[in-house]
Amino acid sequence: MRNIKIIIEYDGAKFSGWQYQKNARTVQDEIQRSIFAITQETVRVNGAGRTDAGVHARGQVGNFRIEKPIADFELQKGLNAVLPHDVRIRSLEQAPDEFHARFSAKERRYRYYLNPGSLAIGRQYSWFYPHPLDLGIMNESAKIILGDHSFQAFCSAAAEVNHYLCRVNHAEWFVREPHIIFDIRANRFLHNMVRSLTGTMIELGRGRLSLNDFQSILESRIRKLAKYTAPAAGLILEEVVF
């Protein structure tokens, strides 16, 4: 039995997230059904990140095991032929037997895209936010979250996790016309964590919160204090590092 690694791109607008849900359209389910259509094998596709409803991915990574002796190129071609147009397999290759998309990953990278001006093309992949922002103080708050912290205050109250500790390796706001981008890399992310951080930092950039407020919210571990959550459409899972 072969262990197959795939890199996946998808437009999350019409998905209820990555993970399979009964009576909902999910990326995991679409890929699993497509694998069955090509191989007649029922498999489980492990994902490196469980993206929320409406969140997109350019570099999601998955793995699954099959017995059918089909060439990697032919399998990738076949999957892309039967998958819906909002999901693409960017690459496919055999991986070592011990490889697991979720547990082997060392770092995930997300970017949140703000659109300060009105766009016609690409507007569905960013949040139109025309208000002026102080990126300097927003980057000061980004420095606060570097390293190991509990992100319980920035996590969905319904998240089913054993702990809330994450190690943030990089966090930065910058401008790349026509967008303002929040780039963040960490060993793991909690449900709604990036969107909650983004929304709270934007309130800071608007002058509605202070750095002390932000620090207090982080240290409080109280979800209701971080009450600003950015919309899903601007968030993209860009890369997974192994």
**Residues labelled as active-site residues:** 52
DSSP letter for each residue of 145-191: T-EEEE-GGGS-TT---S--EEEEEEEEEEEETTEEEEEEEES---T
Please state at what angle helix 135-144 crosses helix 211-220, rounded to 10 degrees.
Answer: 30
Q: Distance between CA atoms of 63 and 66, rounded to whole angstroms?
A: 10
Closest to 92 (Cα-Cα) out of 5, 163, 177: 5
Q: Cβ(108)–Cβ(237) under 8 Å?
A: yes
Please state at what angle helix 135-144 crosses helix 193-205, rounded to 10 degrees.
Answer: 140
Closest to 149 (Cα-Cα) out of 168, 162, 169: 168
Helix (H) or strand (E) holding 37: helix 27-39
Q: Distance between CA atoms of 238 and 159, rounded to whole angstroms?
A: 22
C-alpha distance across the termini of the chain, in Å: 22
Q: Cβ(36)–Cβ(42) under 8 Å?
A: yes
Q: Indicate the SS3 state at residue 35.
A: helix
